[in-house]
Amino acid sequence: MKTPYDIYFYEAFAEEAAALRSFLPAKLHAGFTWKTIQEARDASPPAPIISVRTQSELPAGWGRAIDGLLTRSTGYDHVAAWLKALDAPVPAGYLPLYCNRAVAEQAALLWLALLRKLPQQVQQFERFHRDNITGRECKARAITVFGVGNIGSEVVKIARGLEMDVRGVDLVERHKRVHYVSPRDGLLHADIIVCAMNLTPVNDRYFCYDTLRLVKPGALFINIARGEFSPAGDLLRLLEEGTLAGVGLDVYAEEKTLAVALRDQDPDAAAITAVADILALTRRSDVIALPHNAFNTLEAVQRKAEQSIDAIRAFRHNGSFPHPVSPLS
């Protein structure tokens, strides 16, 4: 296909675009936008190689129009689902290793802030009083990490450093120093649950109401993986009933719709049940909601930019990405 660009980057916020440019070879012509594909409203792909993150809706018709697709994310379920729907294969890749520590630290930031009731503390500064903001310490507190992969193993390291009682749940027990338990035991044990799992068709809605109601009253739930694991309406119910004492979220179901609606301040989006439930959650002082930003540290952005350009150069050289994505089975 003849286009002005060799590669086009969607969802490239300012710092990321600058980092990508710093690693671009002189002969590789790239275009950039902070918009998703649907926000850009591009009827056809602007380059033979397209790069997105997690919020772009990939048009089915682009399958036959591009040479390759790179998602600049550790999760690739959105790409795998798109590939499955195509009638012709398209080489696709992802970046599994650039932000493990950054995301793990964001998880810790969330559980620490919730333990110490940080949102309530900030609200009460204006009156400078300390009623009902007594927090809890991390030491000896029980935490279960669901999904002890590249990110989950970093969460385990941080929790151990805080002298917490750490357990892990995973189908593959790859880390010798992790105390693995069954999902049920992990739920019953935990004061804090961290979801760091990979999303598959089998584990969608894994942390639904019936699952999380098994936790001890006053537990915290942290999700830095995918919003589809934890329906917002179920989390809201668990908070209202007092089963959960706090929720920290960096990811959301229907995130493509939510992100665009919030950027455009679209009032009609509130009519969508999943979006309405998320917005209801964010109005609570026992919920911390962040804009899918766990990956976003200076160090991780630099690694992501370098790994993205390396992946694109490898694809242009041999027709495959270093970390390929396969269609969902």
- The SS3 assignment for 78 reads helix
- Regions of the chain with pLDDT less than 50: none
Look up tokens 């296909």; give the residue: 1
pLDDT score recorded for residue 88? 82
Residues 259-281 have pLDDT tens digits of 988 898 887 776 788 888 999 99
Specify the CATH class of 7-98+298-318 in words: alpha beta
C-alpha radius of gyration, the chain, whole number: 21
Domain limits of the chain? Answer: 7-98+298-318, 100-289
Cβ pair 264, 238 in contact under 8 A = no
AA letter at 150 = N
Query: 254: how many CB neighbours lie within 10 A of its CB?
Result: 18
Question: Which H helix or E strand runs over 123?
Answer: helix 118-124
The 10 Å Cβ neighbour count of residue 260 is 17
Residues 6+ away with beta carbon under 8 Å from 157: 104
| Bridge partner residues of 30 (DSSP) | 7
pLDDT of residue 1: 56
55-58 long-range Cβ contacts below 8 angstroms, 24+ apart: 55/11, 55/255, 55/256, 55/259, 55/260, 55/292, 56/10, 56/11, 56/256, 57/256, 58/82
Strands (E), the chain: 7-9, 30-32, 49-52, 68-71, 92-93, 142-146, 165-169, 192-195, 219-223, 244-249, 287-289
Cβ(282)–Cβ(274) below 8 Å: no
CA dist., res. 118 & res. 124, Å (int): 10
Q: Which CATH architecture has domain 100-289?
A: 3-Layer(aba) Sandwich (3.40)
Q: So what's the pLDDT on residue 18? A: 98
* Neighbouring residues of 317: CB distance < 8 A, sequence distance ≥ 6: none
Q: Residue type at 105? A: E
